[in-house]
Amino acid sequence: MNKLDDSTVLIIVDAQYGFMPGGGLAVADGDAVVPVINRIAPRFANVVLTQDWHPADHISFAANHPGRAPFETITLPYGEQVLWPTHCVQGTRDAALHDDLRVPQAQLIIRKGFHRDVDSYSAFMEADRRTSTGLAAYLKARGITKLYLCGLATDYCVAWSAQDARAAGFEATVIEDACRAIDLNGSLARAWADMAAAGVGRVQSTDIQDKPGCSARWESASSHQINTKPTERNKP
């Protein structure tokens, strides 16, 4: 299988049991991303994984806010925060990466969300928009400029990571069929619109799988019925 050049990386976002069917924050059909990722991963010499890694008393968990229910929102010092079901607690099976992932060439795991008082969707920056994960510096030190992103969930951690990648000066492309979404109150359409506005590419796994010289392309917005007008993300 032809590999992409060393300036390219596959970023696998949160392929953890907590986001799979039966997990603490299950994404519908979330486990379907695993075989797709396994098919495309051999094309990449460089692979980075992210892993949600929350303490049990994390501020984003509805269970830690008496009288509040999952998917309600509260206001925190850094802005609006969705309250989530308890998920991906450090050291639990829920937080583990899926056993069937086949990425032996992966070089780095970025753990995020481990600060009690700040949520973290992006692989690059926590939700306070000040605390860096260090991923941008790592990629730049290795001469990596082109990012392909996949995993869970399209409209939260994947979208935030892709937009932050663009803000940090990287090319970024989301592999649509290697992702699944939560789609909370229209969040999926908003995420695609925001990513389009940021210059994030959108491809299918078949555009990458063992094809030389694959490059990002945009499918027409009308085919996905999205509004390409820039919108604000639901966190600062």
157 catalytic, yes or no? yes
Q: Which fold has domain 8-54+87-224?
A: Rossmann fold (3.40.50)
> What tens-digit pLDDT sequence spans the chain (236 residues)?
678 999 999 999 999 999 999 999 999 999 999 999 999 999 999 999 999 999 999 999 999 999 999 999 999 999 999 999 999 999 999 999 999 999 999 999 999 999 999 999 999 999 999 999 999 999 999 999 999 999 999 999 999 999 999 999 999 999 999 999 999 999 999 999 999 999 999 999 999 875 555 544 434 332 333 222 233 344 32
Helix, strand, coil percent values for the chain (each to nearest 5):
25, 20, 50
Domain definitions of the chain by residue range: 8-54+87-224
Q: What is the pLDDT of residue 172?
A: 98
Out of 14, 52, 94, 119, the active site residue is 14
14 catalytic, yes or no? yes
155 catalytic, yes or no? no
Measured CA to CA, the distance from residue 153 to residue 182 in angstroms comes to: 6
Q: What is the pLDDT of residue 2?
A: 79
Residues 6 or more apart from 101 whose CB is under 8 A from it? 12, 15, 34, 37, 38
Q: What is the pLDDT of residue 19?
A: 98
Out of 150, 157, 179, 214, the active site residue is 157
Q: Hey, is 163 helix, strand or coil? A: helix
Number of Cβ within a 10 Å radius of residue 166:
17
Out of 31, 94, 112, 207, the active site residue is 112
The pTM score is 0.88
Q: Residue 47: enclosing H or E segment and its boundaries?
A: strand 47-52
